[in-house]
């Protein structure tokens, strides 16, 4: 939409829109003061770490959700601010759908090395937005592959609304592996996700749970981690989507199992 010689970064306009009175940013807890440092918001990574979400004025929101008002507002913005490039607006939606479909295919079918090479290329290109989109596809697709079920506890909650109570968990952290492929992911409920990320549990070469012995649990609790010791995890239907045993090896090595 905007033709510029500058980097087409998402962070700067997202942040500086706060100078328009309709746009507001909600900082993450503990980052309230950091949000005031304008120079720190130049990168998408800093923005993502600092801002929980953006919200608009209630009056504008009501206009936006009304189909007729939304169409009038959209046409006005395109005519006034983007008269020469407004045709790109429709194309951008089509291109994004293609991009998301392409990312999903890569996540499900690329090997880790191919995927890692592409991520490094995106980093060199400073394409933080596509990296973020890839992470979003990972978070969406991994639970689906596991039927929205925690692969350790078997917890699954069906709902009439689009929610999931299981997380997509990287086996080897993305910050180390640059790997969002299906073989570097498992679906875990939130407490077991944290237990896995902190090295309280891991998975052996037979896809069985290993529980560390360096912690204790209150006997009054109804939910324990220790009883999962030796339990076989649930695996995807397609063996090509099985989590990588090599990745589990690196996880065990990292936490001295």
Domain spans in the chain, listed from the N-terminal domain onward: 11-82, 93-254
Angle at 214 between CA 212 and CA 215, to 5 degrees: 95
Burial string for 122-156 (b: 16+ CB within 10 Å, else e) reads beeeebbeebeebbebbeebbbebbebbbbbbebb
> Judging by beta carbons within 10 Å of its beta carbon (0-12, 13-18, 19+), is residue 106 exposed, middle or buried?
middle
pLDDT in tens, the chain (257 residues): 666 666 667 788 888 889 888 999 999 988 888 888 877 787 878 888 889 999 999 999 998 888 888 888 888 888 888 888 777 676 666 677 788 889 999 999 999 999 999 999 998 988 887 888 899 999 999 999 999 999 999 999 776 666 778 999 999 999 999 999 999 999 999 999 999 999 999 999 999 999 998 877 776 566 789 999 999 999 999 999 999 999 999 999 999 99
Residue tagged 């079918």 (tokens): 109
Contacts (Cβ under 8 Å, ≥6 apart) of 183: 112, 241, 242, 243, 244, 247
Residue tagged 């695996």 (tokens): 235
Residue 14: CB atoms within 10 Å: 17
Instruction: Return d(Cα 93, Cα 90) in angstroms, integer.
Output: 6
């Amino acid at each position: 939409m905007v033709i510029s010689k500058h980097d087409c970064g998402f962070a700067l306009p997202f942040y500086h829109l706060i100078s328009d009175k309709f746009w507001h940013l909600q900082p993450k807890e503990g980052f309230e003061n950091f949000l005031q440092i304008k120079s720190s918001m130049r990168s998408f990574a800093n923005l993502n770490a600092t801002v929980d979400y953006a919200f608009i004025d209630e009056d504008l929101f009501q206009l936006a959700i009304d189909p007729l008002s939304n169409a009038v507002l959209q046409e006005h913005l395109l005519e006034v601010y983007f008269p020469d490039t407004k045709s790109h607006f429709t194309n951008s939606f089509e291109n994004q759908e293609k991009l998301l479909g392409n990312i999903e295919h890569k996540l499900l079918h690329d090997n880790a090395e191919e995927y890692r090479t592409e991520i490094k290329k995106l980093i060199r290109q400073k394409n933080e937005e596509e990296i973020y989109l890839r992470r979003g596809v990972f978070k969406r697709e991994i639970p689906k592959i596991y039927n929205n079920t925690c692969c350790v506890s078997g917890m699954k909650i069906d709902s009439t609304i689009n929610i999931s109570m299981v997380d997509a968990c990287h086996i080897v952290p993305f910050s180390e592996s640059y790997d969002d492929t299906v073989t570097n992911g498992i679906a875990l409920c939130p407490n077991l996700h944290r237990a896995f990320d902190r090295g309280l549990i891991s998975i052996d070469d037979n896809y069985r749970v290993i529980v560390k012995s360096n912690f204790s649990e209150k006997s009054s609790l109804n939910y324990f981690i220790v009883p999962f010791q030796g339990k076989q995890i649930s695996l995807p239907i397609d063996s090509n989507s099985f989590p990588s045993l090599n990745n589990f090896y690196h996880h065990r090595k990292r936490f001295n199992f």
